[in-house]
A and B are shown apart, each in its own frame.
Chain A
Amino acid sequence: MTRISGALRSPLTFSVLAGLVIGALFLLGTGADPVTAYEAVVTGALGADGIGSTLTTGTSVLGLALALAIPLRAGLINLGGDGQMVLGGITAAVTGLYSPLPAPLTVALALLAGLAAGAGYAVLAALCENHLGVPLLVSSLLLSYPAVSLASYLARYPLKEPGSSLPQTRALPDGVALPAFGDSTVTLGLVLVALAAAAYWFTDKRTAVGYEIRMTGLNPRFSAYAGVERRGLTLKLMALSGGLAGLVGAIGVLSFPYRFVDGSLTAPGYTWTGLTAALLAAAAPLGTVVAALFFAVLQVGGLAMERTTEVPRELTQVLQAIVIVFLAARLRFPSRWFGRRTRESEAV
């Protein structure tokens, strides 16, 4: 009994419920029946027609949610997911197109190359914070734009598929693809991301490093006193974070439609949905997985809702943001995201 009332009082439950209620008001405002609409979201995302699509979207959302949760656990916000993911994707595409190795080895090489590209780019943002004093939040975000532009340029000019009017690279050679389950679009990528989640859970719960990261997130000054070296930690966590984002990009390219299509990685907003999921779960491993899958259901179900009720699918994006607004207003996270923030948290 007390557990149930405690759960109802928790800011998390409150925020999700408040989001659903406000979403229902929006639906009423557009003249739709909220019950029908929410039903359409759930059946559309989890029914036989939608589950494959939910798992495909879920692979990317979960991957980026984990990527952003890992530094967030130590109080670091990486806003450069788009750039890291897109660089991972384009690097995997180049590797896939030009590697002389047999197909299975090329796939592995492309995954590693994507991971390395994302990690390397994220480390750049960490170096900006460590050595130039530019807050990670800002450096990672600003670095993201040129990376997206670069990938866009490559897909539109040097690597463009000849004769195609679409901004996309040539298709990868036969066999250079992640194995899919049956005839669905769900690939081995889902397993890779799930393994990453398991590794994150294990590290967080069972290892000294995970403890250090959590302590840094809860109280950076205490952890510095206890001997955690902050710059090194920032560097390592950003490398992991960017690496995962790059891996998600590579998985996207090595799955259907087996090429890099300009905008296909950034347009669905995986980075922001992933960040929202990580924030919702306060970066806890299991919570992040649940929140990411919840948002994947919303995203895919939103399309079904649009078909049955004619309510624009953008409503699900509104829902996500409302949940976080409520949560942020009631919860306080450690304040080391911005250089001068310690003063501000004492201010109010």
Chain B
Amino acid sequence: MFLDSDLLMSALRALTPILLAALGGALCERAGVFNIGLEGMMLMGCFTSVATSWFTGSPWLGVLAAALAAAAYSLILAVGAVTLRGDAVVLGIAMNLLAVGLTSFLLRTVFGVQGTFDDPSLAGLPLIGGFTPLAYLSWAAVAVAALLLSRHVWGLRLRGVGEAPDAAATLGVSPAKYQYGAILLSGVLCGLAGAQLALGNVTLFTENMTAGRGWIAVVAVMLGRAAPLGVLLAALLFGLAEAAGFRLQGLGLPQQATDAAPYVVTLGALFLTTARRRRRPRTTGAVQ
């Protein structure tokens, strides 16, 4: 049987890092900041969680450190794009590059190994009912984010900042403050995503181990139109693609085909949704 509960379970496990990162990306998008640095922030989270867990023996401190480190890393985007009004796209690309270089550099200076750090005594996250606590946290975060954005003053102001910054500023809401908040929160969420990837899905650190998941999260934000539930569905799609890929590999398909599956599925979903969105009549004469 191809579609069974096992497949769903592994899909749910695969989606957690994407979901956490994409929720962060969605908050930024709502605040009017395009964040493509998710991949780099996640990778910083991966390394910090492994290093901290290794030195303290506690995966929980690893998770905490990952959240803090990625939040600190996200300040680059906040200061660069919000305060200095630099280009968020270029900053995001540079942050992704910097994270790959920095974590590989630290891997070699701190652990003296190249490629992969893998040790039996490295403590990973415990499983409760087959999932890490971070997985449950990610589902709770969807609900919290949804309520925040639709009901709470902070969320409504955040959206206001993203949609009409001038109007928000006129009402005494500081766009910069809300944008900083959204970017830092996305850092925390990406840090957790990284910890989940390095201490939950597996227990090791490999150079560039995010392998494009941060980019998938960026796409999930677009697919889900930056709404928490939409993002959840998009992440689920990716999780299913990854899980189905593993299953097919077990049935004898080469690894390369399954490696490519999540990207192809994501791209396909992107085509379908944008094509449908474009068929609706335009209300304004769009200039572009």
Interface stretch of the complex, out of B46-54, B87-95, B192-200: B87-95
Give every chain A residue within 8 A of B79 (Cβ-Cβ). 329
Cα A335 to Cα B90 in complex, Å, equals 11
Cα A147 to Cα B230 in complex, Å, equals 28
Interface stretch of the complex, out of B12-20, B60-68, B104-112: B104-112
Partner of A330, one of B86, B165, B254: B86
- Is B32 a contact partner of A143 (Cβ separation < 8 A)? no
Interface stretch of the complex, out of B116-124, B139-147, B271-279: B271-279
Shortest Cβ gap from A64 to chain B (Å): 14
- Is B87 a contact partner of A314 (Cβ separation < 8 A)? no
- Is B105 a contact partner of A312 (Cβ separation < 8 A)? yes
Give every chain B residue within 8 A of A54 (Cβ-Cβ). none
- Is A325 a contact partner of B256 (Cβ separation < 8 A)? no
Q: A132-B271, A347-B162 are in contact. Are A324 and B87 (CB under 8 A)?
A: no
**B9 interface hit (Cβ, 8 Å):** no
- Is B97 a contact partner of A332 (Cβ separation < 8 A)? no
Shortest Cβ gap from A270 to chain B (Å): 13
Partner of A133, one of B94, B101, B166, B278: B278
**B127 interface hit (Cβ, 8 Å):** no
Chain A, interface SS category:
helix
**B133 interface hit (Cβ, 8 Å):** no
- Residue-by-residue, is A177-206 near B (CB-CB < 8 Å gives 1, otherwise 0)? 000000000000000000000000000000
- Is B256 a contact partner of A335 (Cβ separation < 8 A)? no
- Is B81 a contact partner of A348 (Cβ separation < 8 A)? yes
Cα A329 to Cα B98 in complex, Å, equals 14
Give every chain B residue within 8 A of A346 (Cβ-Cβ). 165-166
- Is B105 a contact partner of A325 (Cβ separation < 8 A)? no
- Is A149 a contact partner of B90 (Cβ separation < 8 A)? no
Partner of B256, one of A149, A329, A332, A344: A149
Q: A133-B275, A146-B263, A156-B256 are in contact. Are A344 and B88 (CB under 8 A)?
A: yes
Give every chain B residue within 8 A of A347 (Cβ-Cβ). 32, 161-162, 165, 175
The residue of chain A having its C-beta at the shortest distance from the C-beta of B105 within the complex is A314
Give every chain A residue within 8 A of B188 (Cβ-Cβ). none
- Is B101 a contact partner of A317 (Cβ separation < 8 A)? yes
- Is B260 a contact partner of A138 (Cβ separation < 8 A)? no
Interface stretch of the complex, out of A36-44, A100-108, A238-246, A271-279: A271-279
Cα A77 to Cα B88 in complex, Å, equals 13
Shortest Cβ gap from B22 to chain A (Å): 14
Partner of B97, one of A221, A276, A329, A343: A276
- Is A314 a contact partner of B89 (Cβ separation < 8 A)? no
Give every chain A residue within 8 A of B215 (Cβ-Cβ). 138, 141-142
Q: A312-B109, A337-B89 are in contact. Are A132 and B275 (CB under 8 A)?
A: yes
- Residue-by-residue, is A31-73 near B (CB-CB < 8 Å gives 1, otherwise 0)? 0000000000000000000000000000000000000000000
Q: A30-B109, A347-B162 are in contact. Are A146 and B264 (CB under 8 A)?
A: yes
Cα A59 to Cα B287 in complex, Å, equals 40
A interface bracket (residues with beta carbon within 8 Å of B)? 35 or more
Across chains A and B, the number of contacting residue pairs, with CB separation under 8 Å, is 163
- Residue-by-residue, is A333-348 near B (CB-CB < 8 Å gives 1, otherwise 0)? 1011111010110111
B interface bracket (residues with beta carbon within 8 Å of A)? 35 or more
Using a CB-CB cutoff of 8 Å, which residues 247-285 of chain A contact chain B?
A: 272, 275-276, 279
- Is A331 a contact partner of B87 (Cβ separation < 8 A)? yes
- Is A324 a contact partner of B97 (Cβ separation < 8 A)? yes
Give every chain B residue within 8 A of A330 (Cβ-Cβ). 84, 86
Give every chain A residue within 8 A of B101 (Cβ-Cβ). 314-318, 320-321
Cα A316 to Cα B100 in complex, Å, equals 12
**A211 interface hit (Cβ, 8 Å):** no
- Is A138 a contact partner of B219 (Cβ separation < 8 A)? yes
**A150 interface hit (Cβ, 8 Å):** yes
Give every chain A residue within 8 A of B266 (Cβ-Cβ). 142
Shortest Cβ gap from A311 to chain B (Å): 8
* Centre residue among A221, A312, A314, A346 by max chain B CB count within 10 A: A314
- Is B256 a contact partner of A150 (Cβ separation < 8 A)? yes
* Centre residue among A149, A230, A276 by max chain B CB count within 10 A: A149
- Is A324 a contact partner of B34 (Cβ separation < 8 A)? no
The residue of chain B having its C-beta at the shortest distance from the C-beta of A143 within the complex is B267
Using a CB-CB cutoff of 8 Å, which residues 207-256 of chain B contact chain A?
A: 212, 215, 218-219, 222, 254, 256
Q: A142-B219, A344-B33 are in contact. Are A314 and B108 (CB under 8 A)?
A: yes
- Is B102 a contact partner of A318 (Cβ separation < 8 A)? yes
The residue of chain B having its C-beta at the shortest distance from the C-beta of A336 within the complex is B288
- Name 13 interchain pairs, CB-CB below 8 A, sorted by A: A77-B93, A128-B271, A142-B215, A142-B219, A145-B259, A149-B260, A221-B287, A314-B105, A318-B98, A321-B95, A325-B98, A328-B91, A344-B88
**Residues of B near any A CB (own CB < 8 A):** 32-34, 36, 76, 79-82, 84-91, 93-95, 97-98, 100-102, 104-105, 108-109, 161-162, 165-166, 175-176, 179, 212, 215, 218-219, 222, 254, 256-257, 259-260, 263-264, 266-267, 270-271, 274-275, 277-278, 287-288
- Top-5 shortest CB links A-B: A317-B101, A321-B98, A329-B80, A328-B90, A153-B256
* Given A30-B109, A132-B275, A230-B288, 7 additional A-B pairs, CB 8 A: A142-B267, A221-B287, A272-B97, A317-B100, A328-B91, A341-B89, A344-B33
